[in-house]
Amino acid sequence: MNVRNDDSPHLPARRGAVSGRGERAGELDLTGSRLTEHPSVQVPRDGLSVTLFWNGKPIVARPSDTVASALYAAGVRIFSRSVKYHRPRGLFDNQGLGSETLVTIDHEPNVRADRRRVEEGMWIEAQNAWPSVDFDLMAVNDALLPLLPNGFHYKMFHKPRWARRFFDRLIRRAAGLGTIDTAGHRTETRYEKRYRFPDICIVGAGPAGLAAARAALAHNRRVLLIDDDLQLGGHCAYSPVIVNDCDDRDLCGLSEQMAALRLIDSILGHANLEVLLQTTAVGLYEDNLVVAERGTELFKVRADSVIVATGASDRHLVFADNDRPGVMMARGVERLIGLHGVKPGRRAVVVTCHDRGYETAQMLRGAGTRVAAVVDARVKLPSIQIVSDLHNARVPIYGGETVHSANAHRTLRSVTTGDLAGLQANRTISCDLLVLAVGFKPTLGLLSMAKGPPRWHDERQIFTVDELPRGVYAAGDVNGYGSFARLYREGWEVGIAASRGQASPVSVREGSEMIMVLPADIESRGEKHFICKCMDITRAEAHRSIAEGFDQVETLKRYSNMEMGPCRGKTCYEAVARLAARDTDQGTGRPAAEPGMSSAAHSSPGRPADRTLAEVAAALFQPPCAPISLGVLAGRSRHLAPIRRTAMHDLHVQAGATFFGMGEWQCPHSYGDPQKEVQMVREGLAIIDVSTMGKWEIGGPDALALIESALPGRFGDLAVGVMRHSTICGKDGRLCGDGMISHLTAGRYYISTTTGNHSAMDSLVEWWITDRGLDVHYRNLSSVLASVHVTGQRALEFLQELVDIDLSNQAFSHLSCGQAMIANVPIRLFRTGFTGELGYDIHFPAEYGESLWHYFLERGEPHDLKPFGMEALRILMLEKGHLIPGIDTDGPAAPCAAGVGFPVGDDRAHLVGKAFLGQFEARGLDNNTVPYKLAPGAPIPPDGVVILDSGAIVGRVTCSRMSPTLGHGIGLARVAARLSAPGCHFSIRLPDGRDVEAEVLAGAAYDPDGVRLRA
């Protein structure tokens, strides 16, 4: 039951075309709260045909409703309880900006009800309240928590320690809002990632965004238009204001709502335009990466240019009990009327400080709501038509006043208004709706991510982000409030600039357009002034935080948690910045004497000390702009992580092998019993898939030069048909790998290395060739060839039947290599012996993997050939004391510290790591990797446990296994040099606290002289 993902831009069904039979199809509207017409805006006319459930109670709604408008129309006023105080909260901005409307829908927690379209049968539950959202027992917090000190969760409930776990659990239970569905109702949700590469990405489809799209399309640019609302048009989608002086004459004289529709029609369906609705841009990153979320999809958009036209939201007003249900933002009320045809209330008081607020009052009257009063912060009322209309209608207008408190018993009953300083209350007006129309603040999230913290723009009395990086543009309300004509022109010009890659045009606003008066709120006295409603932070708490020393807006934000809630600062950032400026003495950081007093004395009402604000930046906005689920960030990652498989992988699966991961490789661990597999090798014959090894071929004129400059061994004397082991050292001389070098044919060398580092080897060899300017043919054969190792005393007898060359000890002795054929497949053959038994590496084209493996097993049946896995191989190698670089050695291992000693001559000028190789001998060694054995019957330590000497840690066990061949435990350990001589004893500490004694071996535990290898 998720957001509908239709790709077509969704115009509400009601516009012009009426769904079904029109008015009143289906259920009747019993609450009297539905409108089917309005004098200045078009309202939806679809009938009530959708049934949903709110806390078990059925509710009918229009298909065009959001969950919030449906609940509101049905009389619901309390949507949730706040996170800390459990105060009742109701519809506020009606736009999904804050946390008031977070509900659980169909087991999905924290859904913003004002952002979700209704669907038949939706099951909606309130959160964070018990037993119900109307009667919540936790509301006791409202009385108790103020008694606790500010930031109590940092300071209290740590002691006594024994009680701490109890408090932790209690606080954890009380914290948070929704509950995660652990019963698994939603596990089938599929989250997807999608990539987009438009020429221009426009975030925000209000008048500026639409005009910019129009201009860009006219320039033949590919445009991606993103908007987080359910329809295009931005704030014009419900606005009654008449458009004047627009550059597009077709739009003049229409209401902004109609003009927006016409503008939308003119670009919709254009081949170069893609529209994503209900899509929230959550972040803007370097090089114009926009990340946007649409329900279960995450869009990653790389655009040549990004136009941020995210508009503005209503200014937050801070007064006593400003969080009560019944207090709503002006645009929230206009949305209820214009988008959903819902009457917002019976009696309303409108608080304003600019002309546009009067349009809201007028719109309310048109919806049948009685406007009990308009309260204007300006002393001198504007001489506009609406003021006359209100006077004629006997609506009182109080100038020079603001609201002091919202009086409620769960929902609003009345408001008290009075002077701007909050000292003198003048009257109480009964109402069930208080409309805050006190200006607009830009939605700066994305711009702030692009550039830096927002700064106070003195001229426009808003925060802005200036000097945007190249390729990022801003247009529209986000630059400051403007008329439709102004925003259209700005969007158009920015669209052109972005299309041409030019600098952004300068943003212009004229005096009459700008809302010059800040509401007088932060300054006024009183209690329970909520600054950050999401996190339940009152003005008093914020002031106490500042008094404790957190007077910089960034630290204040983090200490008090303001702006850290679901609104991400969209609602409260301006109020927080103004508070930080107000309550810290001008630049000195000391708190002012008493909130409200000193400022009122120094500033004129409605125009607080601008200088202080100019010194204070708003807190930097950080992604995500809106809450985003972890699922949509993860996408299908878990399902799509790549696995590297050998050519025979599936055959191992069929044979019942268990696997383990070695980086991205899946390797067979064993086919059932590793100890038995070890015995198979020692007693006769076995085969293992070792295709994960790295394999390279180096030829060409400088092949030997490359090898000798990269590897510390000597290879000039390596004859054709012979191979040699070598370590691989880093530029600091440390051991970083090892491998076998084979001189296959004259001038052609073949290198095979252990799996662990061969991906890094690739880039390393490329680097050596590039850097030293060598003329080599370097071919990575790791994918081209698969490889198996056939080993055991019967290996020769078995392979001689299959291979077409002489494998006898005289013709093909230990460490020989060559090319041959098996069953018409060309192979490379290497007689190695890393298991300690006679063994042959067979490398062949990978496409023959399955066929050849089957062939080996078939032909090997009479010889009792069976497969063995990596675990058995590890034990076999351990019995021979072979170490694996990176596992048995750690970073600081010198080659000779691992028992691999060699001289480095002066003529090897270009040898990698040469500067250091000589140093190790000279400085002596602190640690060595040594093989050890345990007494028979001693417990086998796990890998990684420590080695102790008189209570001090002197090393650790790097690999430890039971040896079935020898009947006791063996292993490799990294241990202090003084304990590493053969015959030394040291103590291994087991996890259960016991100690087991080990003895250092002179060489391999098994066949130390390698007799079996050379037979």
Please say whether the beta carbons of 798 and 807 come within 8 A.
Answer: no
Which pair of structure tokens corresponds to residue 430? 């009964």
Residue type, 652: H
Q: Can you spell out the DSSP letters for 34-67?
A: B-S--SSS------B-EEEEETTEEEEE-TT-BH
Residue 697 Cβ vs another protein, minimum distance, rounded to whole Å:
8
- Of these, 6, 188, 287, 1009, which contacts another protein (CB under 8 A)? 287
Please say whether the beta carbons of 494 and 212 come within 8 A.
Answer: yes
Residue 730 Cβ vs another protein, minimum distance, rounded to whole Å:
9
Residue 110 Cβ vs another protein, minimum distance, rounded to whole Å:
24
Touching another protein, residues 845-864 (CB under 8 A) = 845-852, 855, 858-859
* Angstrom distance (rounded) from CA 148 to CA 544: 12
Give all strands of the β-sheet with 289-294 in edge-to-edge order.
Answer: 192-196, 297-302, 289-294, 280-285
What number of CA atoms fall less than 13 Å from residue 569's CA on the CB side? 28
Residue placing its CB nearer to another protein in the complex, 185 or 910: 910
Residue 777 Cβ vs another protein, minimum distance, rounded to whole Å:
3
Q: Which stretch binds another protein (CB under 8 A): 35-43, 85-93, 334-342, 773-781?
A: 773-781
Q: Which stretch binds another protein (CB under 8 A): 195-203, 325-333, 489-497, 604-612?
A: 195-203
Residue placing its CB nearer to another protein in the complex, 274 or 949: 274
Residue placing its CB nearer to another protein in the complex, 157 or 916: 916
Q: Which of 691, 726, 684 is nearest to 709 (CA)?
A: 726
Residue placing its CB nearer to another protein in the complex, 122 or 706: 706
Touching another protein, residues 726-765 (CB under 8 A) = 731-732, 762-763
- Of these, 123, 167, 715, 916, which contacts another protein (CB under 8 A)? 916
Residue placing its CB nearer to another protein in the complex, 60 or 667: 667
Please say whether the beta carbons of 360 and 330 come within 8 A.
Answer: yes
Residue 275 Cβ vs another protein, minimum distance, rounded to whole Å:
16
Residue 652 Cβ vs another protein, minimum distance, rounded to whole Å:
11
Cβ-based neighbours of 290, under 8 Å, separated by 6 or more: 201, 203, 226, 281, 283, 284, 299, 300, 301, 303, 306, 446
Residue 769 Cβ vs another protein, minimum distance, rounded to whole Å:
9
* Angstrom distance (rounded) from CA 814 to CA 740: 13
Residue placing its CB nearer to another protein in the complex, 640 or 719: 640
Residue type, 401: E
Question: Is residue 806 involved in binding another protein (CB under 8 A)?
Answer: no
Residue 887 Cβ vs another protein, minimum distance, rounded to whole Å:
22
Q: Which of 84, 79, 78 is nearest to 536 (CA)?
A: 84
- Of these, 17, 148, 171, 915, which contacts another protein (CB under 8 A)? 915
The interface mask with another protein, positions 684-713, x = CB under 8 A, is ---------------xx-------------
Residue 698 Cβ vs another protein, minimum distance, rounded to whole Å:
10
* Angstrom distance (rounded) from CA 102 to CA 96: 9
The interface mask with another protein, positions 644-663, x = CB under 8 A, is xxxx-xx--x----------
Q: Which of 352, 361, 355 is nearest to 402 (CA)?
A: 352
Which H/E stretch holds residue 687? strand 686-689
- CA-CA-CA-CA dihedral for 28, 30, 33, 38, to nearest 10: 40
* Angstrom distance (rounded) from CA 683 to CA 29: 88
Question: Is residue 270 involved in binding another protein (CB under 8 A)?
Answer: no
Please say whether the beta carbons of 567 and 98 come within 8 A.
Answer: yes
Residue 772 Cβ vs another protein, minimum distance, rounded to whole Å:
10
Which H/E stretch holds residue 291? strand 289-294
Touching another protein, residues 807-826 (CB under 8 A) = 823-825
- Local structure of 728: helix, strand or coil: strand
* Angstrom distance (rounded) from CA 901 to CA 888: 16
Residue placing its CB nearer to another protein in the complex, 258 or 693: 693
Q: Which stretch binds another protein (CB under 8 A): 460-468, 485-493, 567-575, 914-922?
A: 914-922
Residue type, 33: S
Beta bridge partners of 971: 932, 960
Which H/E stretch holds residue 226? strand 223-226
* Angstrom distance (rounded) from CA 945 to CA 988: 7
Please say whether the beta carbons of 257 and 240 come within 8 A.
Answer: yes
Residue ranges with strand state E in 128-218: 192-196, 200-203
Touching another protein, residues 611-650 (CB under 8 A) = 636, 639-647, 649-650
Residue 409 Cβ vs another protein, minimum distance, rounded to whole Å:
49
Beta bridge partners of 284: 290
Residue 195 Cβ vs another protein, minimum distance, rounded to whole Å:
5
Residue placing its CB nearer to another protein in the complex, 301 or 494: 301
Please say whether the beta carbons of 901 and 895 come within 8 A.
Answer: yes
Residue placing its CB nearer to another protein in the complex, 119 or 850: 850
Angle, helices 758-772 vs 703-710, to 10°: value is: 120
Residue placing its CB nearer to another protein in the complex, 830 or 848: 848
Q: How many residues bind another protein (CB under 8 A)?
A: 66
- Of these, 123, 559, 715, 778, which contacts another protein (CB under 8 A)? 778
Q: Which of 591, 539, 585, 587 is nearest to 562 (CA)?
A: 539
The interface mask with another protein, positions 881-910, x = CB under 8 A, is ----------------------------xx
Q: Which of 6, 499, 9 is nearest to 269 (CA)?
A: 9
Question: Is residue 964 involved in binding another protein (CB under 8 A)?
Answer: no
9 to each of 198, 202, 227, 229, 333, how far by Cα in Å? 17, 15, 10, 11, 24
Residue placing its CB nearer to another protein in the complex, 652 or 789: 652
- Of these, 779, 814, 989, 1012, which contacts another protein (CB under 8 A)? 779
Residue 639 Cβ vs another protein, minimum distance, rounded to whole Å:
6
Q: Which stretch binds another protein (CB under 8 A): 430-438, 487-495, 594-602, 783-791?
A: 783-791
Please say whether the beta carbons of 305 and 288 come within 8 A.
Answer: yes
Question: Is residue 424 involved in binding another protein (CB under 8 A)?
Answer: no
The interface mask with another protein, positions 288-317, x = CB under 8 A, is -x-x--------x-x---------------
Residue placing its CB nearer to another protein in the complex, 672 or 701: 701
- Of these, 107, 193, 410, 989, which contacts another protein (CB under 8 A)? 193
End-to-end CA distance of the chain, in Å? 72
Residue type, 162: W
* Angstrom distance (rounded) from CA 1001 to CA 996: 16
Residue placing its CB nearer to another protein in the complex, 714 or 725: 714
Residue 778 Cβ vs another protein, minimum distance, rounded to whole Å:
7
Q: Which residues bind another protein (CB under 8 A)?
A: 192-197, 283, 285-287, 289, 291, 300, 302, 636, 639-647, 649-650, 653, 665, 699-700, 731-732, 762-763, 766-767, 770-771, 777-779, 781, 783-785, 802, 823-825, 845-852, 855, 858-859, 909-910, 914-916, 919
